[in-house]
């Protein structure tokens, strides 16, 4: 085990913000992880995947454990393919690999940045599919006792961009592997535009994957070219009564009825209507093609991003009475940070 001190974090977060960590360890095998456990018990510990859903608001005063565990296996049952994927595997590469193998089920989640180990924390989702629908289990080692545990999909308490790993187990475990179940009787999910232009009869996983990729590339900036962490805010849900009242003043307000009769409203629409799309503040700004994405134009500081995010949140609340909640994780000196 090799612990690096005063490590620059800019290469390890897709926002590309300058920050340092007092301790940093690259974990490429389980043994190294077990060696790090005594330190994990006495320090502020942050398990880091691809850094695609975090904003380092300050230098981190603790130990960052970078998930670099590699490997994937497939076993077959009568009705499904069961994937065991190590936590450091690239999620986009995993999706591409399953599609190339002719395995359907993950194609709607193509090109989402990050690692397999980070995917269940956020319960990643796109175009009508969430990880929870494909997850069979999540394996992790707990920092306290060092035991290897497995939680079923139900035990993970998945919700909209949420899971037990963002709640009760946050900061207490390191996700080592993810189990996925891909049905042999694959059915395409084409309910969300622009996938609805495809016909259910004849659609193939590779067609859906390529369409998702083309749409994402057209709408979302490449983090390697323009620093960002994807969607900054969650899409809020409001009551049907509140939605109907807003609809009277804004007839073009989109809304998606949920199972509990709440209505999910696109945060991007709210931000755009509040006048923020394409605007800059310091080195940070709102992307010109997707108002839900805040970007680093090259020299942004964490304060630039946070100030911009606060002003957007406050303006949306003043205009629509809806308070936006960050989707990305805000990391302070010793752990979670709030706007």
> Any catalytic annotation for residue 134?
no
Instruction: Give DSSP secondary structure letters for 279-306.
Output: -EETTEEE-SS-TTEEEE-SS--HHHHH
Strands 148-152 and 135-142: antiparallel
209, containing H or E segment: helix 205-219
Active-site residue, from 161, 216, 313, 329 = 161
> Any catalytic annotation for residue 240?
no
Q: How far is CA 198 from CA 76, 101, 205, in A?
A: 29, 21, 11
> Any catalytic annotation for residue 77?
no
- Is residue 121 classed exposed, middle or buried when 0-12, 13-18 and 19+ CB atoms within 10 A define those classes? buried
Instruction: Give DSSP secondary structure letters for 239-276.
Output: -HHHHHHHHHH-TT---EE-TTS-EE--HHHHHHHTT-
- What is the distance between the alpha carbons of residues 51 and 15, in angstroms, rounded to a whole number? 8
Active-site residue, from 89, 231, 313, 329 = 231
3-state secondary structure 86-150: ECCCEHHHHHHHHHHCCCCCCHHHCCCCCECCCHHHHCCEECCEEHHHCEEEEEEEECCCCCEEE
Instruction: Compute how many other C-beta atoms are within 10 angstroms of the C-beta atom of residue 225.
Output: 7
- Is residue 6 classed exposed, middle or buried when 0-12, 13-18 and 19+ CB atoms within 10 A define those classes? exposed
Q: Tokens in use for 177?
A: 């592997």
Q: Tokens in use for 98?
A: 């399953």
Positions annotated as catalytic residues are 161, 231, 327
């Amino acid at each position: 085990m090799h612990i690096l001190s005063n490590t620059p974090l800019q290469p390890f977060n897709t926002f590309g913000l300058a920050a340092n960590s007092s301790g940093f360890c690259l974990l490429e095998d389980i043994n190294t992880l077990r060696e790090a456990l005594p330190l994990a018990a006495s320090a502020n510990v942050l398990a880091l995947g691809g850094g695609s859903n975090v904003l380092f608001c300050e230098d981190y005063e603790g130990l960052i454990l970078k998930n670099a565990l590699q490997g994937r296996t497939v076993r077959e049952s009568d009705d499904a393919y069961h994937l065991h994927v190590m936590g450091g595997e690239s999620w986009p590469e995993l999706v591409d690999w399953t599609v190339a193998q002719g395995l359907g089920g993950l194609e709607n989640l193509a090109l989402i940045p990050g690692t397999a180990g980070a995917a269940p924390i956020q319960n990643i989702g796109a175009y009508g599919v969430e990880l929870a629908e494909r997850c069979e289990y999540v394996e992790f080692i707990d920092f306290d006792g060092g035991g290897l545990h497995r939680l079923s999909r139900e035990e993970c308490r998945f919700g909209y961009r949420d899971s037990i790993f963002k709640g009760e187990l946050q900061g207490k475990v390191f996700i080592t592997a993810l189990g996925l179940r891909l049905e042999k009787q694959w059915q395409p999910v084409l309910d969300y535009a622009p996938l609805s232009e495809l016909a259910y009869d004849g659609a193939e996983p590779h067609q859906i994957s390529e369409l998702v990729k083309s749409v994402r590339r057209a709408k979302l900036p490449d983090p390697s070219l323009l620093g960002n962490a994807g969607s900054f805010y969650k899409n809020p849900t409001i009551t049907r009564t509140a939605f109907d009242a807003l609809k009277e003043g804004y007839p073009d307000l989109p809304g998606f009825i949920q199972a509990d009769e709440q209505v999910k409203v696109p945060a991007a629409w709210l931000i755009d209507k509040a006048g923020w799309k394409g605007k800059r503040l310091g080195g940070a700004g709102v992307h010109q093609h997707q108002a839900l994405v805040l970007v680093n134009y090259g020299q942004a500081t964490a304060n630039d991003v946070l100030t911009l995010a606060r002003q957007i949140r406050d303006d949306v609340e003043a205009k629509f009475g809806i308070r936006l909640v960050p989707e990305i994780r805000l990391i302070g000196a010793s752990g979670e940070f709030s706007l």
